[in-house]
Amino acid sequence: MSPLLLLALAQPADACGGLVTRDMVTKIAASDAQQALFEIGSDSVRVTYRVRYVGDADDFAWIIPVPGEVANVEEGSESMLDMLSTVTAPIVEWDAPDAEAESGGCSCLATDMSLDKAGGDRNGISDSGDVDVLGEGFAGDYAYQVLSATGAGAMSGWLAENGYDGSISADQVSDYENDALGFVWIAVTLRPDVAVTAEGGVVLKPLTITYGAAADGKMHALFPSRMAASTQLSEIRNEIFVIAENRVKAAGGWNSEDNLEEGFDVEGQEGDDPDELYDALLRSQGAAKELWTTWGGTNDDLATGYITRLDTLVSPGTNTSDLVLEDAGDQPVVRTLIYMPQAHDTGYGALIAPLALALGWKLRRRVARL
């Protein structure tokens, strides 16, 4: 759904992905695509978030619930996320399945998760009676505060005191306030000396948070899906990368275990769009809260450990519980292949289409950058 269409609806926009504005009725800040990289260690979880921003708000805050004691907040690595996205992407083979000997694989399926910077102005974020500031500082372009909210409505009250309209996301925020894990909040805005948000859909710089055990004394690798439960966008795309000792599987009401055979195939017909085929696959899984295991394996150039990629494309109402990541105890080789018939203009014409997709992705990133 385009930002212009959202405006035409003349309805408030939700704090999708944890984005809240100072005027949720006429100014829109929502996230229709998110990436997260979890690096799971023995005594900490390091998670990098990157979100695509859709809307016209020139000032908003980004609030992130964290299931554990925050040890560090820093600017995330765009290049790491870009490399992971490329290496683990579904592979499009432009030949019939029975002609594999002549086909050329190309990791070319673009899901338009190219992400750049955008944001708002900090504008004097302050403490409130029910919210304690545990730490604050700067991370790249961001100003951040680590907050402990106690009592019903504490975080929503803090947002209101600082001029942000958190009314539409109040139910989701309340869920985290009442959670036994004792969530801590990261509240992020752009530094005052950084330009305000560009109009239209652009991308926020990645942010990396390292945290330890929760109130129950345990480590939790958890993606806060509930923050996107009531957005008015029609769909939300998530790409979840995990670096750990073994493959991870989805839990917490989500699932991810039905496509673990090596070389899972999707067969297209002439005239099909590979991106659309993959989106249709994700939608068919997402309706049942199933994440697609897009890729699994090792890559020594990227990381030490096993890499799992889980993708989902879901309607907002699907996000009734947070995505929990658990050790699956194995290390299979997993990949997603999409077989396409050879194009009519064989040879060069069959190869140029994937290259054009990749080039378009790079150009969109360059234009979006402030």
Instruction: Tell me the C-alpha to C-alpha distance, in Å, between residue 7 and each of 159, 233, 235.
Output: 23, 12, 17
pLDDT digits (tens, 9 = 90+) for 210-222: 999 999 999 999 9
Looking at the 3D structure of the chain, how many domains does it have?
Answer: 1
- Write out 295-345 in H/E/C secondary structure: EEECCCCCCCCEEEEEEEEECHHHCCCCEEEEECCCCCCECEEEEECCCCC
> Which of 240, 362, 346 minimizes the C-alpha distance to 291?
240
The pLDDT-based confidence of 341 (bands split at 50, 70, 90) is: confident
Q: Which of 21, 47, 25, 20 is nearest to 34 (CA)?
A: 47
Which residue range(s) make up the domain with 8? 3-368
Torsion of CA 147, 151, 156, 162, to 10 degrees: -50
Q: Assign 196 a pLDDT band (cuts: 50, 70, 90).
A: low
CA 310, CA 258: separation in Å to the nearest integer? Answer: 12
Model confidence band, residue 260 (pLDDT cutoffs 50, 70, 90): confident
pLDDT at residue 26 greater than cutoff 60: no
For residue 321, pLDDT over 50 is answered with yes
Contacts of 99 (CB under 8 A, 6+ apart): 342
d(CA 112, CA 45): 27
178 burial type by CB count under 10 A (0-12 exposed, 13-18 middle, 19+ buried): exposed
From start to end of the chain, where are the E strands? 19-21, 29-40, 45-55, 60-66, 70-75, 91-94, 105-106, 131-139, 142-149, 184-190, 202-203, 207-211, 222-223, 236-244, 248-251, 264-267, 292-297, 306-314, 323-327, 336-340
Mean pLDDT of all residues in 254-271: 83
Please compute the mean of the pLDDT values over residues 14-29 and round it to a whole number.
Answer: 47
Q: Is 149 helix (H, G, I), strand (E, B) or coil?
A: strand
- Mean pLDDT calculated for residue range 243-253: 96
Cβ-based neighbour number of residue 180 at 10 Å: 8
Residue 59: predicted pLDDT: 57
- Separation of alpha carbons 114 and 205, rounded Å: 11
pTM equals 0.79
Residue 137 has pLDDT above 50, yes or no: yes
Residue pair 313/279 in contact by the 8 Å Cβ criterion: yes
Mean pLDDT, all residues of the chain:
74
For residue 111, the SS3 value is coil
70-75 and 60-66: which strand pairing? Answer: unpaired
With H, G, I as helix, E, B as strand and everything else as coil, classify residue 58.
Answer: coil
